Amino acid sequence: MRSTGEPRPWHESYRTRLLISDAVVLVWVVYGTQIVWFGTGNAQLSLLRDLRFTAVSYWLASAILIALWLLALSLADTRTPGVVGTGMTEYVRVVDSSLVLFGVIAIVAFLFRIDIARGYLLISLPAGILLLLLIRWLWRQWLVAKRRVGKCASGVILIGSPASVAQVGAELQRRRDTGYLVVGACLPPDDPATAITATDADIPVLGSFDDLTRVLADTGADTVLVTSSDALPPEKVKQISWSLETGRQHLLLAPGIADVAGPRIHTRPVSGLPLVHVETPRFSPGQRFGKRMADLIGSLVAVIVISPVLGILALAVKLSSRGTVCVRETRIGYHGRPFRMLAFRTTRDGIDDTSTTTALGRWMHRHTLDDLPQLFNVIGGTMSLVGPRPPLPSEVETYTDASLRRFLVKPGITGLSQVSGRDNLAWEDAVRLDLSYVENWSLIGDVAIVMKSAKAALLGRAAR
């Protein structure tokens, strides 16, 4: 094993930027809350039980709270390279560490009878969490933009069979915003280089398994990704792990399954073997109730807030051409049951022909405004805010058994395939994303999809 190394420069600089921005946010929130609640005077925090301690100024208490909050974010590893830039782990850790910190503060205050103003804490906590998430999201947009041009990414050497290297490499090249930049591959000694260069992945073969140490040194890559173990015995994987430089180089293992994530995956060591346990998809009554309540509350609030927009659009559709304001299309929904999906009319006389689309219809379609009446489908229970888009009956006739799993959840106004660029996706990729959503559903994931959909609709880039 080599001596301990340091992370790549971008890791350190990005971590420093996050630390500084977190500190600025917390100073602004905590001291801002203090001034709003107490004014600019020298309010005192009373310590009632132990007379050896005198009252502490809230100016000092706020400084201690900020320091503890920053420490909690650090201890929860919210700024480590493995969690920033992609996925929901970073956001979840920010929320969890903040809630734990305030929970501990509440318990300590109760046990030692410290008289902390409740409003001071109740405002600081949600405001701090929301602004921390916002600033993290803004930094992520900056990081993703850098990664799309090949910067701020981990150089990856793929190692495995030609077929698995080509498959994993193609996916990483398609999603460069994840932060993994494929540098090359090492194949089994008996596999010719043409076995992979002839694929669409176009990944350079830099050597065999035995050349990995040299390849890492020559390319400067910091990550080794084992794409399959077909030709790679366990002892060889262990040797690769031992040869990597601690702290700077990393080893990733790609399981033989795809599109399974989140709480369904657990690593369970059994007799020294790190077995990956994959839970079967479960949709408990509690999960369904939580999703239904989120749908009902979200759609009701949305209808109330945008009711002026709905009225204006309805009037514009009525005046733009002959026909009804809304059309009702037969679609297939939950458990394969047909239902009538609402939408603002975008064609003349409601004819289902894109050649008769009105100018207003094209504009509404580009911004997904024609789907707004589907909020009433959500209220009625036939649709969800987030889920696979409901197909036409004629489309369902071509579904395979795997595709039918899309009906395990209610269809949605938007979904994972929509925010992943459905207009540019092959049918197989869109189905794969929808099935991934069905099997890995979470409320936090729904919130992320809604936010991405709103951004795409505002920019006129919404996929259908």
Query: What are the tens digits of pLDDT across the range 266-295?
Result: 566 655 556 665 655 566 777 788 899 999
pLDDT at 52 over 70: no
Above 70 in pLDDT, residue 199? no
- 217 pLDDT exceeds 80? yes
Please tell me the pTM assigned to this model.
0.62
pLDDT mean over 234-260: 74
With tokens 């395990």, the residue in question is 408
Confidence at residue 420, expressed as pLDDT on a 0 to 100 scale: 77
Does the pLDDT value for residue 118 go beyond 90?
no
Q: Over range 42-60, report the average pLDDT.
A: 62
Structure tokens at 98: 């903040």
Q: What is the pLDDT of residues 379-401, one digit of tens each?
A: 999 999 999 999 999 988 888 87
- Within 10 angstroms of residue 48's Cβ, the number of other Cβ atoms is 11
Residue pair 224/250 in contact by the 8 Å Cβ criterion: yes
As beta bridge partners, residue 57 has 44
Structural contact between residues 59 and 27, judged by C-beta atoms closer than 8 angstroms: no
Look at 88 and 260; give whichever has higher pLDDT.
88
Q: 């004819």: which residue's tokens?
A: 351
Where exactly are the structural domains of the chain?
9-148, 154-254, 285-459
pLDDT score at 376: 96
**CATH for 154-254, among 3.20.20.140, 3.50.50.60, 3.40.50.20, 3.30.1340.30?**
3.40.50.20
Higher pLDDT, residue 424 or 340: 340
Q: 330 exposed, middle or buried (CB, 10 Å; 0-12, 13-18, 19+)?
A: exposed
Of residues 277 and 250, more confidence is placed in 250
pLDDT digits (tens, 9 = 90+) for 350-374: 566 556 889 999 999 888 899 999 9
Least confidently predicted of 124-138, 195-209, 269-283: 269-283
The pLDDT of 92-96, averaged and rounded, is 92
Distance in angstroms (rounded) separating the CA atoms of residues 276 and 133: 31
Give the model's confidence band at 201: pLDDT under 50 very low, under 70 low, under 90 confident, else very high: low
Antiparallel, parallel or unpaired: β 273-278 and 265-270: antiparallel
Task: Decide if pLDDT at 176 tops 50.
Answer: yes
What is residue 248's predicted lDDT score, i.e. its pLDDT? 75
- CA–CA dist 223, 282 (Å, integer): 34
- How far apart CA 224 and CA 301 sit, in angstroms, is 48
Q: Are 160 and 232 in contact (CB under 8 A)?
A: yes
State both tokens at 401: 């058994």
Top mean pLDDT of 153-167, 201-215, 306-320, 436-450 is at 306-320
> Is residue 182 over pLDDT 80?
yes
Question: Hey, what are 350's tokens?
Answer: 């409601």
For residue 134 the two structure tokens come to 């916002």
137 or 41, greater pLDDT: 137
Asked if the model's pLDDT at residue 156 lies above 80, the reply is: yes
Question: Lowest-confidence range among 8-12, 123-127, 292-296?
Answer: 8-12
Q: Where are the beta strands (DSSP E) in 209-304?
A: 223-226, 250-253, 265-270, 273-278
pLDDT score for 179: 81
For residue 128, name the pLDDT band (cuts at 50, 70, 90). Answer: very high
Neighbours of 337 (CB within 10 A): 10
Q: What does the pLDDT read at residue 422?
A: 55
Could you tell me what percent of the chain has a pLDDT over 90? 32
- Residue-level pLDDT at 51: 44
Asked if the model's pLDDT at residue 329 lies above 60, the reply is: yes
**Between 339 and 166, whose confidence is greater?**
339
> How does the average pLDDT of the chain come out, rounded?
82
Q: Can you tell me whether residue 414 is helix, strand or coil?
A: strand
Residue 365's SS3 state is helix
Whether the predicted pLDDT of 66 surpasses 70? yes
Mean pLDDT in residue range 445-462: 80
Query: What tokens were used for 34?
Result: 């203090």
Burial class (CB in 10 A: 0-12, 13-18, 19+), 120: buried
